[in-house]
Amino acid sequence: MNYFSSVKVNPLIADIVLLVVRIFIGFAMISHGFPKLMQLTSGEEIQFFNFLGLGERFSLILAVIAEFVGSIFIILGLFSRPAVFLLIITMAIAGLIVHSADPFPKREASLIYLSVYLMLFAFGPGRYSIDSMLERRRETAW
């Protein structure tokens, strides 16, 4: 039986793939979060989705925290699941609420991000992450 017809997971390959996905998706999302950060710090009038009546500015701050700061944490593999959780919420709101009336191609990117974040939440950051290093250190301390 070879690798292509097997249903077993090779842990080394899985950890490398998780690392590559974390790095790629992190930088890809930073490209969405950085313009929002610039909009927030520009001093110009903010035009953004007002989530749950929290106000456009506060909603934008939450999006910047998730998309920009959360992506940095995902790239590093530090506090990965909390960062991914924030991004899951952000992408669910973007894909299912903000763009709900838009045609599918307009919603597609946020839904793809959502699916990748769900996968990262389920499988964690993998062995090649700061979270994993911290966990190994805690286990040896016990």
User: What is d(CA 49, CA 2) in angstroms, rounded to the nearest whole number?
Assistant: 50
**pLDDT tens for each residue of 24-44:** 999 999 999 999 999 999 988
Question: Residue 2 domain-assigned?
Answer: no
> How many domains does one find in the chain?
1
DSSP E strands in the chain: the ranges are none
The per-residue pLDDT for 43 is: 84
Is this prediction's pTM over 0.85?
A: yes
Residue carrying the six token digits 């952000």: 90
Inter-residue contact 22 to 120 (CB < 8 Å)? yes
Nearest to 135 by CA among 80, 75, 86: 80
Q: pLDDT by residue (tens digit) across 68-127?
A: 999 999 999 999 999 999 999 999 999 999 999 999 999 999 999 999 999 999 999 999
Mean pLDDT calculated for residue range 36-58: 90
Residue 52 has pLDDT above 90, yes or no: no
* 51 lies in some domain: yes
What is the model's pLDDT at position 142? 75
Residue 104 lies in a domain: yes
pLDDT in the model for residue 53: 86
What distance in Å separates the CA atoms of residue 71 and residue 63, rounded to the nearest whole number? 11
3 falls within a domain: no
| In-domain check, residue 5 | no
Domain assignment present for 1: no
- 25 belongs to a structural domain: yes
The answer to whether residue 1 scores a pLDDT higher than 70 is: no
Domain range for residue 109?
Answer: 10-141
Residue 141: predicted pLDDT: 81
